[in-house]
Amino acid sequence: MSGRTPVQTRPPVVLSSFSSAPCLRDRLSDHLSTLFLTCHMGTRPAVVADFPSDEVGYLSGFRNTFSSEAIPGVLPQGQNSPLLCPYGLYAEQISGTSFTSPRELNQRTWFYRIKPSVTHEPFKARVPAHSKLLSEFNQSNSSATPTQLRWKPVEIPDSPTDFIDGLFTVCGAGSSSLRHGFAIHMYTANKSMEGCAFCNADGDFLVVPQKGRLWITTECGRLQVSPGEIVVLPQGFRFAVDLPDGPSRGYVAEIFGTHFQLPDLGPIGANGLAAPRHFLAPRAWFEEGNHPGYNIIQKFGGELFTAKQDFSPFNVVAWHGNYVPYKYDLNKFCPYNTVLFDHSDPSINTVLTAPTEKHGVALLDFVIFPPRWLVAEHTFRPPYYHRNCMSEYMGLIHGGYEAKADGFLPGGASLHISMTPHGPDTKTYEATIAQGNEAGPHKLTDTMAFMFESCLIPRVCPWALDSPAIDPDYYKCWIGLRSHFSAKD
């Protein structure tokens, strides 16, 4: 993938004309990357040329402690908070866990930035308010329903809509203010965010783009995320989403009070599933100069607040720490499965898990159903019929899903809440039985479905239940299942 395609991304930044210190860009040393030079030499163009390519653009590893500097020598050595930081930068820490969290869980990052993020006018309720975001679920704002729910892909709007305006909550449980729970959102958007950055004070976003790439600028640097990849934007990070392809759609899981981890591998061993080195964090990248009227849009308690400032928040010249945004390519996942008989539980393909305090019980598991070989003998190979104490929200990135012959489309979704029965539709059942025991090895191709699975029971938002995308006939996909019973086998 080339990261060098010119595209309209961030709006122009007016370069500072009053700085008494030499401008940072005049102090670039020779070995700066071309990438950096493109963005920062000369008068800053209205077009930012490129986002990083996967080959060179990122730092690799899950939960590593990273260091990154856009100008060599900027990172203070030997301490976090020198009286004067190199190049006259401000030191600022972002804490993703309490100061006293155990060391193996503790997450924080130090930013070295041109101005600290506190330099803004007071937060005010955003006008117009966003009416379709929730971060606390109760009887007054959402419904509990045990029925099987399915949605067709939501239409992408014609009117100009950016990532923030196009985000809407589907369902969730718990509360961001009690630091326990989750929300599932979708977004449909068609234009880049302009003159503003988003900051989610409520929780971490795990974004699953289904259509259209997302070019995401964060305080740690920039990430290019394509459908088939996911990105985690942790609580409190400021970010802006550009849409180089225009119309875009995707899914978002938001978790309150915890962060994602890699699952333990148990008897699988030391390797397999998602490899730590395939998680990619951005390299330091910054914008310099004045930007009058820049808005920070903060989601706090599910409501949006805005604060004005006169500079871009993407002014971090160097950083170090282990609390970072990151992306992961689902095609790099190494799936495990049954090799002789029976159907493995879907937990076998967990990419990331957000734990609760109960061992083995997830606040939110992110599980995928990637292309893979099916080889099980004398086995009903599609997902079994089941009821689960956990709740299952599913989405489809591309292709088809093995349990549904039709009706579950890329960009669509389903929700099977705790103990609600579900499983393969009638067509899938009949076709599988028709193959008989002689089915040989078969490769599932052109598919990438996923599931957000939670121990909490989500309530569904009224606009999701009333949506024109809801499939009122979903239950009919099972109604045709006939009795094959015969008292004599």
- Give the x-and-dash track for 341-380 against Fe ion (CB under 5 A): ----------------------------------------
Q: Which residues contact 312 (CB under 8 A, 6 or more apart)?
A: 10, 13, 197, 287, 289, 291, 294
Shortest distance (Å) from residue 142 CB to ligand OMD: 22
Q: Which is nearer to ligand OMD, 112 or 401 (CB)?
A: 401
Shortest distance (Å) from residue 419 CB to Fe ion: 11
Shortest distance (Å) from residue 306 CB to ligand OMD: 40
Q: Which is nearer to Fe ion, 242 or 392 (CB)?
A: 392
Using the Cα atoms of residue 459, residue 462, residue 467 and residue 471 in order, give the sign of their dihedral.
positive
Q: Which is nearer to ligand OMD, 238 or 422 (CB)?
A: 422
* E-assigned strand segments in 243-386: 248-256, 279-282, 290-300, 303-311, 316-321, 326-329, 350-355, 362-369, 372-374
- Work out what residue 451 binds among ligand OMD, Fe ion, none; the CB cut-off runs from 5 to 8 Å by kind: ligand OMD
- Work out what residue 130 binds among Fe ion, ligand OMD, none; the CB cut-off runs from 5 to 8 Å by kind: none
DSSP per residue, 197-217: EEEESS-EEEEEEEES-EEEE
Please, what's the b/e burial string for 435-464 (b: 16 or more CB within 10 A of its CB; e: otherwise)?
Answer: eeeebeeeebeebbbbbbbbbbbbbbbeeb
Nearest alpha-carbon partner for 183 in 255, 260, 257, 259: 255
Tell me, yes or no, if 343 is annotated catalytic.
yes
Shortest distance (Å) from residue 149 CB to ligand OMD: 13
β-bridge mates for residue 124, sequence order: 306
Binds Fe ion (CB under 5 A): choice among 219, 392, 402, 425:
392
Q: Which residues contact 79 (CB under 8 A, 6 or more apart)?
A: none
Q: Which is nearer to ligand OMD, 192 or 391 (CB)?
A: 391
Q: Residue 201: how many CB atoms within 10 A of its CB?
A: 13
Stretch that binds Fe ion, among 2-10, 122-130, 328-336, 389-397 (CB under 5 A): 389-397
In the complex, which residues of this chain contact ligand OMD (CB under 6 A)? 346, 383, 386, 388, 392, 403, 422, 451
Starting from the edge strand earliest in sequence, which strands make up the sheet with 167-175, in order? 58-60, 279-282, 326-329, 229-233, 204-211, 248-256, 180-189, 167-175, 459-460
β-bridge mates for residue 326, sequence order: 232
Position with the least CB separation from Fe ion: 392
Residue 392 among known ligand-binding residues: yes
How many residues in the shown chain lie near Fe ion by CB under 5 A? Answer: 1
Residue 359 among known ligand-binding residues: no
Q: Which is nearer to ligand OMD, 10 or 422 (CB)?
A: 422
Shortest distance (Å) from residue 380 CB to Fe ion: 14
Stretch that binds Fe ion, among 99-107, 257-265, 388-396, 399-407 (CB under 5 A): 388-396
Binding positions for Fe ion, 72-111, rule CB under 5 A: none
Separation of alpha carbons 61 and 233, rounded Å = 16
- Work out what residue 172 binds among ligand OMD, Fe ion, none; the CB cut-off runs from 5 to 8 Å by kind: none
- Work out what residue 236 binds among ligand OMD, Fe ion, none; the CB cut-off runs from 5 to 8 Å by kind: none
Amino acid at 455: C
Starting from the edge strand earliest in sequence, which strands make up the sheet with 290-300, in order? 124-125, 303-311, 290-300, 196-200, 238-242, 214-218, 221-225
Shortest distance (Å) from residue 302 CB to ligand OMD: 28
Stretch that binds Fe ion, among 140-148, 202-210, 285-293, 392-400 (CB under 5 A): 392-400
- Work out what residue 180 binds among ligand OMD, Fe ion, none; the CB cut-off runs from 5 to 8 Å by kind: none
Shortest distance (Å) from residue 395 CB to ligand OMD: 11
Nearest alpha-carbon partner for 365 in 392, 383, 389: 392
Position with the least CB separation from ligand OMD: 383
Separation of alpha carbons 248 and 190, rounded Å = 6
Q: Which is nearer to ligand OMD, 231 or 403 (CB)?
A: 403
CA 237, 363, 271: angle at the middle one, nearest 5? Answer: 85
Burial class of residue 287 (count of CB atoms within 10 Å of its CB; 0-12, 13-18, 19+): buried
Q: Which is nearer to ligand OMD, 300 or 385 (CB)?
A: 385
- Work out what residue 346 binds among Fe ion, ligand OMD, none; the CB cut-off runs from 5 to 8 Å by kind: ligand OMD
Report residue 89 as tokens.
């930068």
Q: Which is nearer to Fe ion, 191 or 404 (CB)?
A: 404
Residue 185 among known ligand-binding residues: no
Which residue is it, tokens 């029965």? 421
Shortest distance (Å) from residue 225 CB to ligand OMD: 25
Burial class of residue 210 (count of CB atoms within 10 Å of its CB; 0-12, 13-18, 19+): buried
Which residue is it, tokens 């820490």? 93
Of the candidates 185, 259, 320, 343, the residue annotated as catalytic is 343
Stretch that binds Fe ion, among 13-21, 244-252, 384-392, 429-437 (CB under 5 A): 384-392
Task: Look up residue 25 and give its DSSP letter.
Answer: G
Q: Residue 154: how many CB atoms within 10 A of its CB?
A: 20
Residue 401 among known ligand-binding residues: yes
Question: Annotated binding residues for Fe cation, as ranges?
Answer: 386, 392, 422
The residues carrying an active-site annotation are 343
Annotated binding site for homogentisate: 401, 422
Question: Which residues contact Fe ion by CB under 5 A?
Answer: 392
